Structure 1
């Protein structure tokens, strides 16, 4: 007799797979925790870490846990704090994309980054500061 997968068992397996995926490690040996003290979001199989501080707004990009190539990359970040809105154009600066300025981001702040990396399609990344 062949084992049958009931709808209940199928839903349990799907839920287990989704929770393993959300836990941060996709079996590729990397997780999605912040490395630079910012907020991490995943898009297009890459990790984006946004760090807002007095003096600069920085975006770090990792591809499977390793720093991504950012020469020729650019990003436009929009920060939303309630009714306040700030925009910044980020350019390569060492191992990150960066824009100078005083950026306030705290609990409740949301951000959207439109990122263009060399050799890839542009990607929109959403962040939520907690």
Structure 2
């Protein structure tokens, strides 16, 4: 075999390896990590978890914690003809919490804003 052929094959194999790296690096992207439901919102992902009479929202960006300092939010819960709103406040570097419940199958609309940044919103359905 010629040296040129070997280099071409090696370059091709390297390109295949590099192309598969981002998919592997974001293996958790879109998958719930805390037993909730994931809502995609532009640069962030919000995992919405109901814990009794408390709603916890974990914020990430490509698997890394997404800073919620200074954020405020609202979660609208539509369960049949009933509508409720949960006010969300930061309680940890990448977590928001509020008082409310998530009935199974309810439609969820999350809206989060920070001072000086574009607000993020997303939709999901409660498990």
TM-score, length-normalised on structure 2? 0.73
Q: Which moved more, 1:45-54 or 1:117-126?
A: 117-126
* Structure 1 runs of 4+ with >4 Å offset: none
Partner of 2:99: 100
Deviations 1:64-116 (A, max 9, x none): 11111111011111001001111011000124100124x1321x211101111
**Out of 33, 36, 60, which is 1:35 matched to?**
33
Structure 2 residue aligned with 1:73: 71
Give the CA RMSD over aligned residues: 2.0
Against the structure 1 CA distance between its residues 119 and 37, is the aligned structure 2 distance closer, same or farther, given a 3 Å change threshold?
Answer: farther
Task: State the number of aligned residues.
Answer: 104
Unaligned runs of 5+ in 2: 1-21
**How far has the Cα of 1:55 moved from its partner?**
2.4
Which structure shows the bigger proportion of residues in helix conformation?
2
**1:26-54 superposed Cα distances (whole Å, 9 cap, x missing partner):** 63722211011100021213211111221
Structure 1 gap ranges (5+): 1-25
1:33/1:40 contact within 8 Å kept: yes
Q: Which residue of 1 aligns with 2:125?
A: 128
Q: Distance in 1 between matches of 2:115 and 2:61?
A: 13
Partner of 2:14: none
Contact 1:46 1:62 in 2 (8 A): yes
